[in-house]
């Protein structure tokens, strides 16, 4: 079992409080309302969602999770998050169930087993990484019995994203999955600069211009922490269209730090 490390920090540690906090994200002035599962034939193959504390970015993430709930629930969720801790792998899975205050979240064993042919498994490498964990209570909120495959990327190069996407597409060719790219946008820059820089990145995502996204991040030094996971999700999902759902920043949600904001973006990828 992979035990939570972000509970009590990024989100509430008590079940009822956490449920109320997620519900509040959907009802927040920046949020889209409570989700309802309505889809018959699913069209969403991937999303982008932020992974900061729920008070800062949860209402932004709610836009992406509401889209999944409305579209219909998949067989599995492949969550790809960036490495914040310096793991000794280019990419690594964990095949242990993930525990959150909402209960255990199981692994999709068949997908994980097949992916282990190309991606190593080391749950210790996942022990202190929050970028995966923060997504799971949102998944549990919309899906009462979800199955996940968690992957951390240290190497966020284009080559690494392409390799990971190829492995995921091969394993999931006949399966119904949603790929979740866990990423925040630029970190600790003035609000106006954040809007300008993040706008460039999101515009390229909308255009499915992965090369352009990498070029913008590198040319302007945009501190997007999960551009590799976003690229892998864009490639692995086979998206024909990408919709930017919401952009906000920590000033919008928390009301302080106008000269040093973190940006958040959510998007939906359609087959």
**Domains in the chain: boundaries:** 15-270
Question: What's the whole-number mean pLDDT along residues 149-177?
Answer: 97
The answer on pLDDT for 100 being more than 70 is: yes
| CA count, 13 A, side-chain hemisphere, 242 | 27
Q: Residues 157, 228: contact at Cβ < 8 Å? A: yes
Query: Could you report the per-residue pLDDT of 80-96, keeping only the tens digit for each?
Result: 999 999 999 999 999 99
Per-residue pLDDT, 37 = 74
Angle between helix axes 191-206 and 227-237 (nearest 10 degrees) is 20
Residue 265 belongs to what H/E stretch? Answer: strand 263-270
**Radius of gyration from C-alpha coordinates of the chain:** 17
User: 181 Cβ partners below 8 Å, 6+ apart?
Assistant: 46, 47, 48, 49, 80, 226, 229, 230, 232, 233, 234
Residue 33's pLDDT is 78
- What is the spatial distance between Cα 11 and Cα 14, in angstroms, rounded to a whole number? 9
Residue 257 falls in which region: left (phi positive, over 0), alpha (psi -120 to 50) or beta: left
Statement: residue 36 has pLDDT above 90:
no
Calculate helix-pair angle for 227-237, 158-171, nearest 10 degrees.
Answer: 40
Assign 39 a pLDDT band (cuts: 50, 70, 90).
Answer: low
How distant is the alpha carbon of residue 43 from its chain centre?
18
Q: Which of 210, 126, 121, 118 lies closest to 171 in space, CA to CA?
A: 118
Q: Other CB atoms closer than 10 Å to residue 144's CB: what's the count?
A: 9
* CA contacts within 13 A on the Cβ side of 209: 12
Superfamily of domain 15-270: LigB-like (3.40.830.10)
238 burial via Cβ count (<10 Å: 0-12, 13-18, 19+): middle
Residue 251 has pLDDT above 70, yes or no: yes
Structure token digits, residue 32: 């889209």
Interval 195-214: pLDDT, tens: 999 999 999 999 999 999 99
- Residue-level pLDDT at 30: 65
Q: Which of 197, 248, 188 is nearest to 57 (CA)?
A: 248
| Residues 6+ away with beta carbon under 8 Å from 116 | 93, 95
């Amino acid at each position: 079992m992979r035990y939570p490390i972000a509970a009590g920090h990024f989100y509430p540690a008590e079940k009822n409080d956490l449920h109320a906090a997620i519900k509040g994200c959907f009802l927040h002035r920046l949020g889209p309302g409570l989700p309802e599962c309505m889809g018959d034939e699913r069209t969403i193959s991937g999303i982008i969602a932020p992974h900061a504390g729920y008070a800062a970015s949860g209402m932004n993430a709610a836009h992406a999770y509401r889209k999944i709930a409305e579209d219909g629930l998949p067989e599995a969720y492949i969550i790809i998050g960036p490495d914040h801790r310096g793991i000794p792998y280019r990419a690594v899975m964990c095949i242990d169930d993930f525990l959150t205050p909402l209960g255990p979240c199981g692994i999709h064993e068949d997908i994980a087993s097949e992916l282990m042919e190309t991606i190593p498994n080391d749950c210790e490498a996942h022990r202190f990484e929050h970028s995966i964990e923060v997504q799971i209570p949102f998944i549990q909120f919309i899906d009462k019995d979800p199955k996940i495959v968690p992957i951390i990327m240290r190497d966020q190069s284009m080559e690494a994203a392409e390799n990971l996407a190829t492995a995921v597409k091969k394993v999931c060719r006949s399966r119904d999955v949603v790929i979740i790219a866990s990423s925040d946008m630029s970190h600790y820059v003035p609000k106006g600069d954040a809007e300008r820089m993040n706008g460039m990145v999101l515009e390229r995502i909308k255009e499915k211009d992965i090369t352009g996204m990498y070029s913008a991040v590198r040319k302007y030094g945009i501190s997007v922490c999960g551009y590799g996971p976003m690229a892998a999700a864009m490639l692995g999902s086979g998206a024909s269209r990408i919709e930017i759902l919401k952009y906000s920043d920590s000033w919008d949600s928390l009301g302080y730090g106008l000269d040093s904001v973190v940006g958040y973006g959510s998007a939906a990828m359609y087959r």
